[in-house]
Structures are given as C-alpha cells and as structure tokens.
A = this chain, B = another copy of it.
Amino acid sequence: MTLPPEFALIARHFRPLAGAGALDLSDDAALLDPPAGRQLVLAADAMVAGVHFLPDDPPDTIGRKLLRVNLSDLAAMGAAPLGYLMTCAFPQGTDDAWIAQFVAGLAADQAEFGLTVLGGDTVGTPGPATFSLTILGTVEPGRALRRAGARPGDEVWVSGTIGDGALGLLSLTGRLPPDPHLAARYRVPAPRLALGQALSGVARAAMDVSDGLVQDLGHLARAAGCGAVIEAPSVPLSEPASAALAADPALLPRILSGGDDYELLFAADPADAGRVLAAAKAAQTPVARIGRFLDGEGVVVLDAQGAAIPLPRGGWSHFA
C-alpha cells in the first residue's frame, strides 16, 4: 500500500491529534494564547531511523520516544508541557498501517502527559524515516531549572535507574539476551516531569541524561566551572541491569556512559537533601545520591574501594 497524498494523510491521521490553537492543522500556522504569567520553555530534537531508534521498533514506540525525549527536556527545566509541532519525513512506500500505529503512540502519550499537537509538516524522503519535534512548555518566570548553578560540595543526584536504555539497545540488537524491561526502557523512556517541577527552587542545577551519565555530568560540572565524582556503587540500577552487570562486569562503562536514560541529573546543597527527598516523594519518583561536585574539572568514577574506574572518553555521540 503506498502513501496517500499529503493532505489526506494529515486529515486522516494527524488531525485527530490536534488541540486548541492548531486550527485543525488546516491553516498556515497555529495560534496560541500564551498562558498568562508563565515563561515559555522551548526545545527541539530530531530522530533518524537506524541512528536514534531501530527501524523495526514498533511504530507506536517511535512516536512515543520522539515525544518523550522532548518532554524530558521540559522535565529538566522544571517545566509543564503545553504543546508540540512535529515534522515527519516518511520513506516512500511507508504504509498507512505503520503511520496509524505511529500516531496511536502519540495519541496515548498526549493523553498521558496532557498536551496536543499544534502543527507540523509531512514530507517524503528517499532516506530513512526522520522525525523532528519541537516542544513547548511553561514555567513560572525565573523558576526554570538551569544547567549552570552547581557549586563544589553540592551533591550529585539522579532519578530512576541508569543504563537500562543502553543495555536495552544491546538486548534488542542481540548483544545481550532479550529482556522486555530493558527493551521497553530503550524504546519508551519515562520523562520525569513531576520530579522536574518539584525540584524547582530545590535543585541548584539540572539536566536530563541523554548522552550518558558521565558525559552529561561533565556538562553540568563544566557549566558550574567545577569537577565531579561519581561513586559507582551508588548509581541506581534496575534489577535486569544489575543482573547483566553481575554476569559481565565489562558492561559498567556502557551503563555509565551509554546514554538513552532520560533520567534527571541534578545538583543540590547537602543541607537540602531532605527537601530533595520530599520533592521525589511528592513526584513519586525514586532518586539517589551518587556523588558530589568538587573544585577542579572533569568527572571521576570511583569503585567501592575508592579507586578510579577507567572509562572510555566522553559519552555516546551520534557522530562518533
């Protein structure tokens, strides 16, 4: 079945995703009254088949991952979702059922996270499926979480568990045994929106972990003009990740710098630990203290004996 013409495609699949301001996706642009007394928060991410997701990933998970990696950027700023615009470049021959599933994933996540599509574009491509999503959120003016702001002595915190996404990719590509939990974490990350909002005014600095814990902590430390240390045994692992690591200790670097975590990484004054835990409880999101910021530069990972663990330089760059 070949792709229907662009306009029929939009009417059939994408119009049902449209909300207030989208003008039924039938005008040149969307119209939006910005919520009074709020600052806008804006981010955009692109995903390419074979680079950011597997070409045979279920189509509904591809739409959801695209939306969720952008929601994760809002979470990292302490923002609440407002809406999104999306462009889709579909390979020639993409069938209608594929697009219907892709859209069904978006519809489910729109309902879960409380936002709708405002606009976008649908084109054909001779290359791999390529998607781009721009997300809009809002935050109380001056209350956004920023990357800069950590101070030497601050504690390093992270939400959820680390390494599942990277191990999920290994599992989906046959380099680790199949594991539904890890695969789901790779395909459908959990943006920590409630936690991000609860940490506003509590955390001194925050970002989401997309490129790998070590590399992203390096960004947070660099933005603060300092260094950081991670205590590897404190890094929270899921049960499947723990089991995989026990079976093959050489997986540690992959866990710590493999990326695709979409957890929140943040800095807080040790005196605020109680407030951090209260925010996490309110957001029903587990958090763990995994290290601290220090004078100096760079990120060091220590093992249980306090010895530095050698890691490959940097994280996972899509250009590497």
CB within 8 Å of B: which A151-181 residues:
none
A293 to B37, CA, bound (A): 43
Quick one: which of A3, A27, A128, A317 has the most chain B CB within 10 A? A27
A305 to B240, CA, bound (A): 78
Among A83-91, A101-109, A253-261, A271-279, the stretch that binds chain B is A83-91
A245 to B89, CA, bound (A): 34
Q: Given A42-B118, A45-B121, is A144 in contact with B3 using a C-beta cutoff of 8 Å?
A: no
List chain B residues, Cβ under 8 A from A51.
123-126
Quick one: which of A31, A44, A136, A147 has the most chain B CB within 10 A? A44
List chain B residues, Cβ under 8 A from A40.
31-34
List chain B residues, Cβ under 8 A from A87.
44-46, 132
Apart from A29-B43, A29-B76, A126-B127, what are 17 other A-B pairs with CB-CB below 8 Å? Answer: A6-B319, A23-B146, A29-B42, A29-B74, A30-B43, A44-B134, A45-B121, A46-B89, A46-B130, A46-B132, A47-B123, A48-B124, A51-B124, A51-B126, A52-B123, A85-B134, A127-B130
| Interface residues in chain A, defined as those with a beta carbon under 8 Å from any beta carbon in chain B | 3-7, 9, 21, 23, 26-34, 39-48, 50-52, 73-74, 76-77, 79, 85-89, 118-121, 123-128, 130, 132, 134-137, 139, 141, 144, 146-147, 207-208, 223, 314, 317-320
